[in-house]
Each structure stands twice: as structure tokens, then as C-alpha cells.
Amino acid sequence: MKHFLAIADLSPAEFNSLLSTAKKLKAEWRKRGNKPILKNKTLGMVFQKPSLRTRVSFDMAMLHLGGQALYLSPNEIGLGQRESIADVARVLARYVQGVMARVFAHAHVVELAQYSSVPVINGLSDHEHPCQALADVLTIIEHRGKLKGLKVVFLGDGNNVARSLMFACALGGAHFVCAAPQGYGLDEASIAQAQTFCKKSGGSVEQIHDPQAAARDADVLYTDVWASMGQEAEAAARAKIFPPFQINAALVALAKPKCVVLHCLPAHRGSEITDEVMDGPHSVVFDQAENRMHAQKAVVALLMAGKQTKAKK
């Protein structure tokens, strides 16, 4: 694993290695603190989008492992505007030992990796949010004991978070269901790719448009905002279409008694999820938020403590 750009890029062995490393580092941190395996190493963090969890969790992950993180705002970089992405990659690689990029277009993080001689991590793109999916699976395993065989239901927009979760479930042998309004589901190409993973893992992938049918007997219910960053112009229209897919007490009642509820945050309380559910006994949302830090520790540990990559000159 030279870079961490998408869950779909991982082999089952790489996926399981990341999860086991995250669990180990979390346990180590809670007992006596992490070993400084990234001492004298710096992660450059390139942001095109604002962030709470991504910035703070990566910053603290590096700190806990003995390294440091350098925040680079949109105005400081101007990725692909002030200078080419290839040149940004070449320059940053001379200064830091790893790059995390939170971008709009997935092609931008792919190009950074193409020209970088140090590992590149996708902190979020319009196509995938792989760091979030690792934290999601870590949380599910902590609360349900496993991923394989569970029914994991995502309700709402078939976005980057849903796509990465689908790939993670497919790699881990879970039964993933995306319940979205007509026209807002996951693309067929991604579903087909996930189904190829299911052939080896024993999992399954399904997309339907009935939230009640999806939630019935679910082990995990998951939702995200109905309009992501960059979709603000669609927010009013989506607000009229998505209410049947809200996670509320009635929907949770259809799931299994030990069902857990996840949300990647930030949440629009009263829209995609109610206060009653988010603050209720099924919610593991804030455990999930903490696990962003531990999952990302695994990513930086496995990428930055090892050998550097080769890139185009």
C-alpha cells in the first residue's frame, strides 16, 4: 500500500491490516500512550474544504505517534489554480513525509499521489471518504463484535460516504443496503465493483428506494446530510424529497433490538436524524467520531513509518 486514496483500492489483507492496526493503536493509547513511531515526521494537510474532525483527528493522530501535522488552508495552496497539482505534489514531498488532502474532485488527490514521492492520503473527495469508512467499521466491530454477516443500511444520499461504506462492507463480508430516493442512489459502476468483492467475502450489496423495507432487521443504520458541501444550491429541493429517509424512532423500531446508529457528522438534527435517536441508546455517533483519530493513526503508521514511494519526476 503506497497511498490511501480509496477503500476500493484495498485488498482484503490491506483492509484487515488497517483495522487490526487501528484496534492495536487505540488499545495502546488508552493504556499508556502510543509509541513515537513517527518521531521527526510531518504530515502536510491540504484543505480545499473546511473541517472539524478531519483536521483535528489527523493532527492528534500525528501528535500521539510522535510526529506533527502542518495545516495548509485553501488560500495558501490554491490547488490546481496558483500552480499545477503536479508541482504542488513535487514541492510538498521535499518538505514533509506524508500528505493528506481534503478536496472536491477525486482526480485531484489521484494526481497528487501520481507525482508525490511520499504517501498521499485521501481525507475526503467527491468520490470516496475512505478514512471515514475505516472509522465506521472499527465502530461497528467494537459495538457488534464483527462486520461479517451484519446487515448495514445507509439511508439518504448515495454520496462519497455511502460509497466508501459500501466498499468496506463488501470487503468485510457484510450485507450492505443503500436506501435512497429515486435518482439519488449509488452509481451502477460502483455497485458492480463492490459486488466483485462480495464474491470473495460472502457479503452482498443491494440498492432500494423503500426506507422501511431497508431498515427492517438491520444491525446498523447509518445516515449523512442530504446535501453535501458543494451541493448547497440543491439543498432546498432535496429537503422536500428526503424526509421519508430520516432516521427516527419509528425507523429504529424496525431494526434489530441491538441495532447501532451511525452518522459521520456534522449532523442536521431534525432533518436526516432526530435528536431522540442521535442522543438515544442506539447511537454510537460520538464513539464513531473518536474512531476517526484511531483509524487514521493506522493509516499514517502503515504508510509513513515504512518506505517512501516512487513518483514521476
Name residues whose C-beta falls within 8 Å of residue 107's C-beta, 6 or more positions apart in sequence.
none
The three-state secondary structure class of 152 is strand
- pLDDT for 310: 52
- What is the rounded distance in angstroms from the CA atom of residue 227 to the CA atom of residue 58? 25
- pLDDT for 312: 56
Phi/psi of residue 6, each to 5°? -160, 145
- What is the rounded distance in angstroms from the CA atom of residue 185 to the CA atom of residue 207? 7
CATH 3.40.50.1370 maps onto the chain at 7-129+292-304, 132-289
- What is the rounded distance in angstroms from the CA atom of residue 31 to the CA atom of residue 13? 27
| 53 among known catalytic residues | no
Q: Which of 242, 253, 218 is nearest to 159 (CA)?
A: 242
Catalytic residue selected from 3, 127, 129, 175: 129
Question: What does the pLDDT profile of the chain (313 residues) look like in tens digits?
Answer: 999 999 999 999 999 999 999 999 999 999 999 999 999 999 999 999 889 999 999 999 999 999 999 999 988 887 777 889 999 999 999 999 999 999 999 999 999 999 999 999 999 999 999 999 999 999 999 999 999 999 999 999 999 999 999 999 999 999 999 999 999 999 999 999 999 999 999 999 999 999 999 999 999 999 999 988 777 888 999 999 999 999 999 999 999 999 999 999 999 999 999 999 999 999 999 999 999 999 999 999 999 996 544 555 5
Number of residues that make up the chain? 313
Please report, as a single letter, which amino acid is at residue 38. Answer: L
Fold of 132-289: Rossmann fold (3.40.50)
Is it true that domain 7-129+292-304 has CATH number 3.20.20.10?
no
Please report, as a single letter, which amino acid is at residue 50. Answer: P
**In contact, 136 and 146? CB cutoff 8 Å:** no
Is the peptide bond prior to 266 cis by the omega test (within 30 degrees of 0)?
yes
- What is the rounded distance in angstroms from the CA atom of residue 94 to the CA atom of residue 299? 21
| 9 among known catalytic residues | no
Catalytic residue selected from 48, 97, 132, 246: 132
- pLDDT for 308: 47
Beta bridge partners of 236: none
- pLDDT for 309: 46
- CA angle 23-168-107, nearest 5°? 110
| 217 among known catalytic residues | no
Catalytic residue selected from 3, 53, 102, 282: 102
Catalytic residue selected from 3, 53, 238, 292: 292
- pLDDT for 50: 83
| 224 among known catalytic residues | yes
- pLDDT for 13: 97
The three-state secondary structure class of 66 is coil
Please report, as a single letter, which amino acid is at residue 222. Answer: Y
| 163 among known catalytic residues | no
| 169 among known catalytic residues | no
